[in-house]
């Protein structure tokens, strides 16, 4: 299947507007036949990645005790989606944590190379979403339940990034592919400035990244209000418990052993009866002591 007639794993990020090198608009016009794909044959970074890919894969396998097998050595053709026309891809490698490879123990390996400047943007979190989307696409197409990213930063090979297959993500990819080809069929050219509404969903599903919103003034204002109420609640609850202990101590001191004590409509309960509201499970060894104020329908927690 010609690349022009299919969306492959390396195209998936562009469907969501997450490819740093190709926009959705450009991908649409390339597949529609309106423009030629960009010629990257003279790009040194692309050439380096292509020449080093197999070396990175074998080094990664050796370092992490993995069996590595190029996809093209088993099947040079793209793996097609079973139901969606125009969705097919060629994974980089098959990997396994044991030999021989079986359907159950085999995963997908995607190899990436980058520089320190790009790596510095995500080194304390997860690899970029466009890496992960490509891996998820290949796992979905092949039926593999797991996969890894092998990433070389200049001459440093990073530890493995292993991911499980995420059905929700693959469903979103499938829907995007269907919508993409339908829009080409109907001639609906995309707005080059339109942002993708799936970004929040993808970030939630794929990334554990902590997002710094310290500069968000409205969020900071609402959080400040919450913190003030939280501090007031903690302080009031502490003072409430102290007052409760003082009441208990006074009853002990004056040897007041009544089970139910009324004080201006408030009830002090040292033993409950049917109909009293009590906490679900008193602590083992504790005694019941409830204070029910006139306007309350429930007691405080037991001591």
Structure tokens at 72: 């093209």
- Which pLDDT score, from 0 to 100, does residue 282 have? 46
Local mean pLDDT, 10-residue blocks, the chain (303 residues): 86 92 91 86 77 92 94 82 95 91 89 92 88 96 96 93 95 96 94 71 69 76 83 85 86 79 81 58 55 60 43
Half-sphere exposure of 186 (CA within 13 A, CB side): 9
How far apart CA 123 and CA 53 sit, in angstroms, is: 21
- Which pLDDT score, from 0 to 100, does residue 253 have? 83
- Which pLDDT score, from 0 to 100, does residue 289 have? 76
How far apart CA 139 and CA 162 sit, in angstroms, is: 12
**Whole-model pTM?**
0.67
- Which pLDDT score, from 0 to 100, does residue 283 have? 44
Among 253, 283, 247, 281, smallest CA distance to 266 is for: 247
**DSSP strand pairing (88-89 vs 106-114):** unpaired
- Which pLDDT score, from 0 to 100, does residue 45 have? 77
Half-sphere exposure of 260 (CA within 13 A, CB side): 7
Among 152, 149, 169, smallest CA distance to 95 is for: 149
- Please state the φ and ψ torsions of residue 66, each to the nearest 5 degrees: -115, 145
- Which pLDDT score, from 0 to 100, does residue 284 have? 44
């Amino acid at each position: 299947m010609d690349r022009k007639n299919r969306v492959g794993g390396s195209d998936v990020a562009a469907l969501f507007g997450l490819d740093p090198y190709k926009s959705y608009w450009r991908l649409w016009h390339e597949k529609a036949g309106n423009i030629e794909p960009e010629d990257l044959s003279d790009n040194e970074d692309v050439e380096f990645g292509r020449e080093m890919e197999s070396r990175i894969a074998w080094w990664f396998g050796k370092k992490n005790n993995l069996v590595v097998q190029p996809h093209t050595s088993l099947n040079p053709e793209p793996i097609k989606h079973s139901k969606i026309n125009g969705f097919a891809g060629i994974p980089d490698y098959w990997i396994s944590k044991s030999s021989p490879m079986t359907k159950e123990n085999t995963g997908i390996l995607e190899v990436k190379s980058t520089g320190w400047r790009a790596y510095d943007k995500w080194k304390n979190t997860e690899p970029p979403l466009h890496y992960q989307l490509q891996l998820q696409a290949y796992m979905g197409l092949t039926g593999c339940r797991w996969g890894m990213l092998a990433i070389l930063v200049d001459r440093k090979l990073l530890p493995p990034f292993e991911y499980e297959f995420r059905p929700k993500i693959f469903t979103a990819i499938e829907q995007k592919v269907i919508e993409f080809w339908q829009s080409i069929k109907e001639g609906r050219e995309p707005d080059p400035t339109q942002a993708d509404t799936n970004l929040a969903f993808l970030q939630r599903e794929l990334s554990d990244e902590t997002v710094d919103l310290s500069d968000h003034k409205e969020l900071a204002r609402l959080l400040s209000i919450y913190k003030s109420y939280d501090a007031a609640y903690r302080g009031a609850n502490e003072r409430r418990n102290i007052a409760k202990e003082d009441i208990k101590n006074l009853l002990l001191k004056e040897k007041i052993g009544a089970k139910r004590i009324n004080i201006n409509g408030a009830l002090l309960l040292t033993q409950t009866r049917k109909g009293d509201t009590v906490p679900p499970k008193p602590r083992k060894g504790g005694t019941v002591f409830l204070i029910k104020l006139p306007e309350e329908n429930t007691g405080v927690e037991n001591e």
